[in-house]
Structure 1
Amino acid sequence: MSNNYFKFKQFRINQEGSAMKVGTDGVLLGAWTEIDGTDRILDIGTGSGLIAIMLAQRTNVNAKIDAVEIDDSAYEQASENINNCLWSHKIHAYHLSFQDFCNKTEANGYDRIVSNPPYFMNGLNAKGEARTKARSANHLPFEELVVGAKKLLKPTGTLSVILPIEEGEYFERIARLNGFYARRKVSVLPNPGKPAKRYLLEFSLQEVVLQDYSLAIENGQRHVYTAEYMTLTKDFYLKF
C-alpha cells in the first residue's frame, strides 16, 4: 500500500496533500460518533476528509455534512476525496478557519459536531509548516472550538472529539466551564492492561449520566485486534 492513499471498504482516501495521514484516531472518531436522529453534522478540521466521509457512509440519505478546513493543500485533498466518494452529494467542504465559519453560520443548526482537533500546546510544534498547522492548537485553541461549537449546536446536539489523555482532560475542563456535560468517555488502550493513550469524548448541552468505559485496540499481540475494536470499525477496514 502506498503512503499516498488508504483504501477502505467503500472509499479511498488520497492523502499526499494532507499533512495528517489516515490514522487510528480519525477512524475511531468516525466510527464511534453517534448518528441516531442526525440530519446535520459539522466536521471541524476535516484534513483529508476522512471523518466526514465515514459519517456520510453511516448516516441516512438526507443527512448533510459540512467539512471545514483552513489549510490550502488539505482542503484541495479533502475536496478530491469527497468528490470521488459515493456520498459526495451529502458533503460540502469549506475552505476557511473554524472561527470565520462560525461567524458566518447561523446558530443552533447542527445535530452533531465532530473534531479530531489540533492539540499541541505550549509551543510544541510538529515538524513542517503544514503538519504544525494541522496539529498546533495555536490555530484553533480549545476555548474557541468549544465556544463556537456551543453556538452552532442544537440544544439537543452533541460535540465529539478524540484527544491524548492530558489534552483530553484539559478539554473536559474547558467544555465544562462553557456549559457542556460529558456524555460518553472512552479510554482507548493500545492493549488490555496498558495505560490509555487517547480519550474519545462526547459532550451534551443537557446534563446526563456519564457513560465511562474503555476500549482496547489490540489483544496483547501486534495486529491481533480485540473483538470490540473490530466490531466498531468492521464497516471500514478491509482487513475486518
Structure 2
Amino acid sequence: MSNPFCFKQFQVYHNKTAHKIGTDAVLLGAWIDISFKPNQILDVGTGSGIIALMMAQRSFAEQIDAIEIQAEAFQECVGNFENSPWNDRLFCYHGDVQDLVQEPDLKYDLILSNPPFFEEQQPKFDFRQQAREQHTLNYIKLINSVVKLIHSKGHFAVILPYEKHQDFISLAKDKGLYLNKITQVKGRAKANFKRSLMQFSYAQSSIDKDELILEITRHQYTEAYKSLIQDFYLNL
C-alpha cells in the first residue's frame, strides 16, 4: 500500500482511485460558502472522499454522504472515512448518483461535485479514463440529479474547466438553478484562466464574482491561495 496524502487533520489513501488528490478537489472543498450551515451534504463522484472529508472538518453537518461508482475507489473511500476523526458522520454509497434519486426522502442542503471533464476518446479504455469522461457523469445528468436531491433552499457547488463554465451555467438555469457565486482560477497572473468554481441555488441574486491566482512563481504561492487552503495543507 502506498503512503497516504496527509492533511492537517486527516489523511487520504488515493492509489486506487482515478482521481488522485489534486488542486481542483481541495480548491472546491475550501472555497465553498457554508455560512448557511448545511446539515446534510452530498459529494457526487467522491473518488478518495477528499471533498467529503473537508466538509466534515469545516462544518458541523450531521450527515455527510458521498457516492462513487468505481468499485476500488469506493473501497478506498470507505477506508478513508473509517480512519478519519469524523467517521460517525461520513457514509459512502457505491453506485451511480441516479441511484440516490430513487430514494424519495433523501434530500440535501449542499451538493458538491468535482466532475469528470476529459472528453476526447482514447484508443485504450481504462477506469481512469472512464472516471474522467463525461460518459460516466455528464453535466446534464449531474444537474438533473442535483435538482431532485437538493432542498428548496439548498446549494450546489462545482469546479469545471474555465471553457465549460458558461455552458454549465445555461444548463443549470434551464433547471431553475441560478449562479450565485463564481471564482475564476488561474495558475499565475499572466496565464489564462483554467478553472471555474461555481455555487448555485434556486434563489436568483446578484452574482459574487472574483478571481484567484495560485502562484507568483513555481511553488511560491499567493497570499490569497494560502489563506484559502491553510487549514488543510501541511507546511502552510
Q: TM-score range by the shorter chain?
A: over 0.9
- Counterpart amino acid of 1:80? G
Q: Deviations over 1:72-123 (max 9, x none)?
A: 000001001010010111111000101112222525x2111000011223x4
**Corresponding residue for 1:39?**
39
CA distance in 2, matches of 1:198, 1:86: 31
SS at match of 2:234: coil
**Corresponding residue for 1:232?**
228
**Corresponding residue for 1:110?**
108
CA distance in 1, matches of 2:66, 2:131: 15
SS at match of 1:159: strand
In structure 2, the gaps of 5 or more residues are none
CA distance in 1, matches of 2:167, 2:123: 20
CA distance in 2, matches of 1:81, 1:193: 38
TM-score (normalizing by structure 1): 0.93
SS at match of 1:68: strand
SS at match of 2:88: helix
CA drift of 1:153 comes to 0.9
CA distance in 1, matches of 2:158, 2:14: 21
Relative to structure 1, the CA distance from residue 189 to residue 3 in structure 2 (aligned partners, 3 Å threshold; closer, same or farther) is farther
**Corresponding residue for 2:117?**
119
CA drift of 1:165 comes to 1.2
Contact persistence 1:9–1:235 (CA under 8 A)? yes
Contact persistence 1:125–1:135 (CA under 8 A)? no
In structure 1, the gaps of 5 or more residues are none
TM-score (normalizing by structure 2): 0.94
CA distance in 1, matches of 2:124, 2:28: 24
Moved over 3 A (4+): 123-128
Q: Does 1:210 align with 2:207?
A: yes
CA drift of 1:125 comes to 5.0
**Corresponding residue for 2:175?**
178
Contact persistence 1:126–1:132 (CA under 8 A)? no
Query: Share of identical aligned residues, percent?
Result: 38
Contact persistence 1:125–1:136 (CA under 8 A)? no
Q: Which aligned pairs between 1:1-240 and structure 2 lie closer than 5 A?
A: 4-36=3-35, 37-60=37-60, 62-106=61-105, 109-121=107-119, 123-125=120-122, 129-219=126-216, 221-240=217-236
CA drift of 1:173 comes to 1.6
Contact persistence 1:119–1:135 (CA under 8 A)? yes
CA distance in 1, matches of 2:104, 2:212: 35
- Counterpart amino acid of 1:34? D
CA distance in 1, matches of 2:201, 2:183: 15
CA distance in 1, matches of 2:115, 2:191: 24
CA distance in 2, matches of 1:21, 1:3: 12
- Counterpart amino acid of 2:53? I
CA distance in 1, matches of 2:132, 2:105: 27
CA drift of 1:158 comes to 0.8
Q: Deviations over 1:111-169 (max 9, x none)?
A: 11000011223x43596511112111112221111011011111111110001112222
Between the two proteins, the alignment pairs up a number of residues equal to 235
